């Protein structure tokens, strides 16, 4: 499997109010943001809990809620992990969408909050961050309806995916193997992309209630 299987452009959606911070510091995981904020231990424990509402840090940075991931739903689909471990796993990553339609489904949940969408050159990003990159076959941030089985192996290292597709995921989770043609849903980088401005090809500010239209 070759890198050509990935789209040439991937996307990150962020709160409009976070854009000045992103310009200065890049994209940073929720875990790293909380650590940098110097919050007390009881606040940092939020990394192991569902965020039922968005969280605003002292510098005005907004971290999204996790409403589509209630712990009761996760308990039914997690493999050898607790919900707390799953929340921690996600909070340590920066996420990119590969499909604009999936991005717009997420954008729909923000309703009246303005957003900014960053179009990212995939090849240039991976040239610098391949060792920190993983791919997922599912939307890891949603556990509603009939959620797919998931665990640590859901995040397949990019270099592993190039060699064997989703084989490591199915073996670890004891699930039916996915075909190599199954398209990745998310690309993640752990724990941050401080130089994200180097990879941006387009910036689109999306007003309230409007959809993102790829450039």
- Bridge partner residues of 96 (DSSP): 187
- For residue 134, the model assigns a pLDDT of 98
**Is residue 56 left, alpha or beta, with left meaning phi > 0 and alpha meaning psi from -120 to 50?**
beta
- Could you tell me what percentage of the chain is helix, strand and coil, using 3-state DSSP and rounding each to the nearest 5? 40, 20, 40
Of the ranges 4-8, 110-114, 123-127, 161-165, which one carries the lowest mean pLDDT score?
Answer: 4-8
Read off the pLDDT of residues 92-113 as tens digits, 9 standing for 90 and up: 999 999 999 999 999 998 888 9
| pLDDT beyond 50 at 4 | no
- State pTM to two decimals: 0.94
Q: According to the model, what pLDDT value does residue 42 have?
A: 57
Which of the four pLDDT bands, split at 50, 70 and 90, describes residue 38? confident
Q: 210 with 114: CB under 8 angstroms?
A: no
Q: What is residue 3's predicted lDDT score, i.e. its pLDDT?
A: 41
Q: Is the pLDDT of residue 125 over 70?
A: yes
């Amino acid at each position: 499997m070759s890198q050509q299987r990935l789209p040439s452009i991937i996307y990150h959606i962020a709160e409009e109010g976070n854009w000045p911070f992103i310009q200065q510091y890049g994209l940073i995981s929720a875990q790293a943001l909380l650590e940098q904020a110097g919050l007390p231990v009881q606040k940092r424990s939020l990394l192991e809990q569902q965020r039922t509402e968005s969280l605003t840090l002292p510098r005005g940075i907004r971290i999204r809620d996790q409403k589509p991931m209630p712990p009761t739903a996760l308990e039914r689909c997690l493999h050898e992990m607790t919900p707390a471990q799953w929340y921690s796993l996600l909070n340590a990553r920066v996420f990119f969408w590969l499909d604009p339609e999936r991005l717009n489904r997420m954008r729909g949940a923000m309703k009246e909050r303005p957003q900014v969408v960053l179009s990212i050159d995939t090849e240039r990003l991976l040239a610098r961050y391949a060792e920190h990159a993983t791919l997922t076959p599912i939307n890891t941030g949603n556990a509603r309806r009939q959620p797919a089985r998931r665990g640590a192996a859901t995040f397949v290292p990019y270099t592993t995916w190039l060699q064997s597709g989703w084989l490591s995921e199915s073996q670890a989770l004891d699930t039916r193997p996915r075909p190599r043609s199954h398209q990745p849903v998310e690309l993640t980088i752990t724990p941050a992309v401080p130089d994200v401005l180097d990879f941006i090809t387009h910036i689109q500010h999306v007003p309230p209630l409007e959809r993102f239209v790829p450039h």
